[in-house]
């Protein structure tokens, strides 16, 4: 009966999770296609040191140490989770213990020590968020769901550890009572002494109940986490690795080129323009430059948004935010993710009221090519935020998983300036001077007059 229950719950869990992760995948590719190539070995080196090794986390070493406890515990606990799944499917108990011997004892002991350290780290993080109120963790963009989301995961981590120790502590006592069914695991680092302290004097039936309770509690938290993950900032557990792999290898300050604009400038300077073979001919009177909505971002920009851990390291070093301006790079990424979720859900619904040409009976399927709900990223991200950015790249440098909040900011600025011919009043004289004199300063002499004189 327990096997059937386990297989049924597992099947439902993975089916729901598959659908949710497929939606995330589809949402990411609502963005423009972009060719990301380059040095493969350098990309894998970034994955090893930045994603796996958490290299950039240790610029702030105190939270990095505690995060490392949870991270390493998460990796090692998958061994015990794999055993639980095998036990659940085949109706056995401690499958690996039968043939691994003392190595099994060593592995489970390491998992217990790491789980205890993870428990300590979890309590510390709850304290930092809710009592100590570390400034980067109490910004206004975290009010409501983001704050609750962080606390839910931390509380779930506590239940996960409780499940592990309840299962192991009761099991160590049952090994002495019924060694036939409860295989000897050796002396475990924590459970072998903690079990007799907590459960001394318990009846065998009570110990059996506690062992199954701990087993199912651990499994239930894991399955709940799998289903919950697509709605949480902790999606970075999976997406951080591809995000780091596909991150820029070029200089962080290098902007994406726009061939149409480049060729226009070249023609103004008397330089022969190079035709852009990768794009279709553009009508400059009708073309749009930059980013208005998520469809104008690259899929990598959207992957950045879904990978965001909401740690706030980017915002904590942003000079605009530090001086009291509205800009928060973290909020930019959160807004992009929220807008993508909104669009993705509506496209998935297939409701043709969101189609650009609602009266056209030829439209059968709603997709990104014909989607229009009358909103854009500018409904999420204000122009005040965009104008406050100094393009210093501090946020890009600070991100522990190589997210680039600056790129979508610049793309939205380009749309505002090049497509809408708008922008802050103080910027317009600079643009006019650049167009007329090739210089940001309003100097009416020829730019190269000094060179001719020399």
My answer on whether 403 and 430 are in the same domain is no
> Mean pLDDT, to the nearest integer, of 275-303?
76
pLDDT, tens only, 74-107: 999 999 999 999 999 999 999 999 889 899 999 9
Task: List the CATH number of the domain containing 381.
Answer: 1.10.1060
State the SS3 of 413-444. Answer: HHHHHHHCCCCCCCCHHHHHHHHHHCCCCCCC
State the pLDDT at residue 77.
92
- DSSP letter at 85 equals H
Q: Do 374 and 431 fall into the same domain? A: no
Contacts 24+ apart (CB under 8 A), 283-288: 284/260, 287/260, 288/415, 288/419
Q: Which of these, 300, 313, 247, lies nearest to 45 by C-alpha position?
A: 247
Q: Looking at the domain assignment, is residue 379 inside a domain? A: yes
Phi, psi of 231 (to 5 degrees): -95, 0
pLDDT tens digits for range 233-243: 999 999 999 99
Tokens encoding 345: 């859900």
**Domain count of the chain?**
3
The whole domain housing 8 covers 2-245
Tokens encoding 95: 């499958």
Among candidate residues 224, 238, 218, the one with its CA nearest the CA of residue 21: 238
Q: For residue range 149-207, what is the model confidence (pLDDT) as tens digits? A: 999 999 999 999 999 999 999 999 999 999 888 988 999 999 999 999 999 999 999 99
Is the domain of 177 the same as that of 117? yes
pLDDT at 427: 85
Asked whether the CA dihedral 39, 44, 48, 54 is positive or negative, the reply is positive
Q: Is residue 348 pLDDT above 80, yes or no?
A: yes
Are both 405 and 442 inside the same structural domain?
no
Cα–Cα distances in Å, from 131 out to 123, 125, 146, 414? Answer: 11, 10, 17, 42
Tokens of 61: 């070493």
Distance linking the first and last C-alpha atoms of the chain: 94
Looking at residue 282, its pLDDT comes to 47
Comparing C-alpha atoms, which of 293, 398, 407 is closest to residue 356? 293
pLDDT for the residue 276: 60
d(CA 114, CA 257): 47
State the pLDDT confidence band at 277, using cuts at 50, 70 and 90: low
Q: Do residues 408 and 433 both lie within one domain? A: no
User: How far from chain centre, in Å, is Cα 418?
Assistant: 31
pLDDT confidence bin for 444, thresholds 50/70/90: low
Residues 33 and 15 placed together within one structural domain of the fold: yes
């Amino acid at each position: 009966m327990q096997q059937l229950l386990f297989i049924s719950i597992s099947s439902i869990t993975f089916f729901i999770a598959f659908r949710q992760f497929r939606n995330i995948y589809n949402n990411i590719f609502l963005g423009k296609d972009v060719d990301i190539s380059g040095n493969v070995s350098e990309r894998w080196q970034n994955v090893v040191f930045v994603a796996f090794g958490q290299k950039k986390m240790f610029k702030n070493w105190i939270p990095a140490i505690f995060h490392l406890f949870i991270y390493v515990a998460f990796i090692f606990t998958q061994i015990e989770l794999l055993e639980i799944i095998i036990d659940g499917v085949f109706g056995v108990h401690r499958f690996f213990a039968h043939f691994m011997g003392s190595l099994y004892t060593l592995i489970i002991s390491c998992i217990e020590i790491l789980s205890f350290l993870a428990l300590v780290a979890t309590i510390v993080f709850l304290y930092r968020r809710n009592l100590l109120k570390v400034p980067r963790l109490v910004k206004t963009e975290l009010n409501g769901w983001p704050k609750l989301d962080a606390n839910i995961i931390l509380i779930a981590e506590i239940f996960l550890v409780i499940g592990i120790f309840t299962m192991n502590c009761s099991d160590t006592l049952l090994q002495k009572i019924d060694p036939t069914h409860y295989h000897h695991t050796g002396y475990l680092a924590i459970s072998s002494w903690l079990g007799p302290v907590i459960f001394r004097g318990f009846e065998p039936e009570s110990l059996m109940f506690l062992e199954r309770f701990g087993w199912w509690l651990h499994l239930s938290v894991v399955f709940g986490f799998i289903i919950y993950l697509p709605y949480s900032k902790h999606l970075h557990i999976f997406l951080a690795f591809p995000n780091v792999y596909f991150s820029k290898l070029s200089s962080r300050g290098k902007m994406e080129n726009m061939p149409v604009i480049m060729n226009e400038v070249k023609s103004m300077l008397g330089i022969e323009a190079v035709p852009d073979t990768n794009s279709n001919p553009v009508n400059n009177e009708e073309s749009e430059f930059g980013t208005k909505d998520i469809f104008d971002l690259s899929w990598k920009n959207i992957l950045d948004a879904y990978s965001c851990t909401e740690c706030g390291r980017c915002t904590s070093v942003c000079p605009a935010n530090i001086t009291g301006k509205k800009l928060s790079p973290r909020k930019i990424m959160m807004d992009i993710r929220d807008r993508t979720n909104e669009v993705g859900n509506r496209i998935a619904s297939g409701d043709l009221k969101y189609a650009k040409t609602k009266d056209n009976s030829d439209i059968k399927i709603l997709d990104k090519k014909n989607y229009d709900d009358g909103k854009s990223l500018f409904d999420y991200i204000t122009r005040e935020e965009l104008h406050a950015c100094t393009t210093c790249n501090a946020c890009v440098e600070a991100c522990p998983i190589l997210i680039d909040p600056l790129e979508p900011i610049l793309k939205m600025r380009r749309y505002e300036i090049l497509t809408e011919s708008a922008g802050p009043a103080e910027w317009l004289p600079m643009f006019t001077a650049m167009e007329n004199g090739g210089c940001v300063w309003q100097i009416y002499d020829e730019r190269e007059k000094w060179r001719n004189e020399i």
